[in-house]
Amino acid sequence: MKKIVLVNPPFALKPEPQLPLSLLGASALLAAEGYQIGVINGSTDSGYIENTIEACSESVCLGISAMTGFQIRGGLAVSRAVREKYPDLPIVWGGWHGAILPRETVENQAVDIVVRGQGERALYELVKIWEAGKKDVSAVLGIGYKANGQAVLSPVRQFENVNNYPAMPYHLADVEPILRYRALNGQGRMMEYSSSQGCPNGCTFCAEPLVMGRRWSGLDAERVVSEWKFLAKRYELNSINLVDSNFFVDRKRVEAICRGVINEKLKVTWHNANATINFLAGFDSGMWDLLYASGCRSILVGAESGSQDMLEMVDKKCTVEDILKVAESSRKHRIEISFSFMTGLPPGNEKTGPEKEFKDTIRLIYGILKINKRHDIKIFLYTPYPGSPLYRRSLELGLHPPQRLEDWSNYELANITTPWIRDSFKNKVDVVRSFIIPYYQRDNKDVQGLLAVIRKILSYISGLRLKYGYFGLALDYWLAKKWRQKKGVGF
Ligand code: B12
Ligand code: SF4
């Protein structure tokens, strides 16, 4: 049986080790049939380009996974190097960028095929065609390919029930260094797990609706529990890191997973499960207790904004009060929530410009932290990722997007400034994110003496700044920044 080589390019210059879960998912059907699959992980292997070239001898194809941004850079470098050495080897791109912009992706000379959306069956069918020595891929649904030098998109593939797929072939990845890295960094032996695909919601900034067509499918609860049991034992895990776009779509399934974990007496905790505010706002005490008892310790929600106008613009289907309600009920039940906010959204009208929106968001963040300082707050500057209504609105407002695959590799949160955002606004957000919120959140119990006094003063001032939404006269964080630059660590 022949080989298949799949590459997860690094997602940053110095990436943290990450499990190449997208590739494990895409290769699940082939792995279950016993294909020899080489998974090369650019987040742990700095020689991933040379290693891919070597691995590709006698391979049926090369597969690349890429999100929009930095991953494209490595994806293109490896595709070009392989194209040069093996000019006839088919090169397939999958993952979110290709799914969102299939034409631009397949138009690139180093790409032959792009898979849009779920990759398991499409990759399986492609490999079968090439293995049989054929070249015509036009019958494969949900892909882009070249015909007479032109990009062609085949009809969309029906969203498939994830229970049709076999378990993810974790054994294909070099898992141990990743788990060890996490254990050394205080996260314990934590492993990614995907229990569902898709999301039924239509938030106007998100690419999910375009890529998965607002469909959702979750693995049956019994299967989730038995896979967690297997993984926990096989890899000596402390915890599971859920990467589902929306873990909580089916309440009965979540309850059954929790009961299953309790009945099986699994000793793993589970973290970062994605949820929506309106779903969590409907939980009673019994549900929160069940979550905690089954090991749920943190939940991730897109709170997005403290401005009700903005919540409506992004179609979050929740209110600012719902967000505070979730902060309170989760606190009572010892579950931490990671509230993710996006600021600098495209202005709707004068009343909803970025300054007003940021002020409302800060007020809400202060309200959340007053309820529980241990809730995690993430603030991102809105980056228009293609494939969403808000991206189209951003184009109308003057955003100039890259045109070619190469140029999308520089499209990163850190270096995109939308036309309606000023540098001063960007700096203010940065200060709030990196100084004000963390300083307010610290309990300062780990230090004594003068440092403890300085920290307490900083915490107090940061609290006042959040409370009144005032970030001028910045002597406190100017000093903190200088200290950090000089000592390499914060106060
Ligand atoms: C884990 C994760 C990460 C990890 C990276 C993991 C890795 N690959 O190394 C980290 C934390 C580093 C990360 C970073 C970012 N991420 Co991210 N991430 C995810 C997340 C939560 C899970 C991915 C996953 O493993 N899913 C499970 C697998 C099985 O599904 P999948 O990835 O969709 O793969 C399937 C198909 O896409 C396809 N497929 C994928 N690859 C391939 C390859 C081939 C050859 C084939 C045939 C098929 C195929 O088949 C798979 C099975 O069906 C997704 C959301 C989600 N639920 O998918 C967001 C998501 C992919 N990330 C997203 C974003 C926006 C980012 C960031 C920009 C966020 C940020 N704040 O910085 C950065 C970008 C980093 C960069 N510079 O490239 C967006 C994608 C937007 C886009 N246009 O690409 C997503 C969709 C979240 C969202 N809804 O907005 N991310
Ligand atoms: S932001 Fe979250 S809830 Fe909204 S569509 Fe995307 S994945 Fe679904």
User: What are the pLDDT digits (tens) for 100-118?
Assistant: 999 999 999 999 999 999 9
Residue 240's nearest CA partner among 217, 272, 218, 262 is 272
- Does residue 489 surpass a pLDDT of 90? no
pLDDT at position 160 over 70: yes
| Placement of tokens 């993430």 in the chain | 378
Instruction: State the pLDDT at residue 471.
Output: 87
Q: What is the pLDDT of residues 26-68, one digit of tens each?
A: 999 999 999 999 999 999 999 999 999 999 999 999 999 999 9
Whose Cα sits closest to atom 90 in ligand 1? 206
Which is the closest atom of ligand 2 to the Cα of 200?
8
pTM of the model: 0.95
List phi, psi (to 5°) of 490. Answer: -75, 175
CA distance 408 to 67: 10
pLDDT number for residue 1: 65
> CATH for 3-153?
3.40.50.2300
Q: Which ligand 2 atom lies nearest to the CA of residue 214?
A: 5
In the chain, where the domains are located: 3-153, 167-441, 442-491
Cβ neighbors of 413 (< 8 A, separation 6 or more) are 69, 380, 381, 383
Q: Which two tokens stand for residue 451?
A: 């440092």
Q: Do domains 3-153 and 167-441 have the same CATH topology?
A: no
| 279 CB-near residues (< 8 Å, 6+ apart) | 248, 249, 251
Residue nearest to atom 57 of ligand 1 (CA): 245
Instruction: Give the pLDDT band (50/70/90) at residue 483.
Output: confident
pLDDT of 446 above 90: no
Q: Which ligand is nearest to the CA of 194?
A: 1
Residues facing 353 on adjacent strands: none
What dotted CATH number matches 167-441? 3.80.30.20
The closest of 3, 8, 198, 26 to 115, measured between CA atoms, is 26
Ligand closest to the CA atom of residue 117: 1
d(C-alpha 38, C-alpha 55), whole Å = 7
115 ligand 1 Cβ < 6 A? yes
What is the 97 CA–ligand 1 centroid distance (Å)?
9
Question: What distance in angstroms lies between residue 65's CA and the mean position of ligand 1's atoms?
Answer: 9
Residue nearest to atom 2 of ligand 1 (CA): 243
68 lines ligand 1 (CB under 6 A): yes
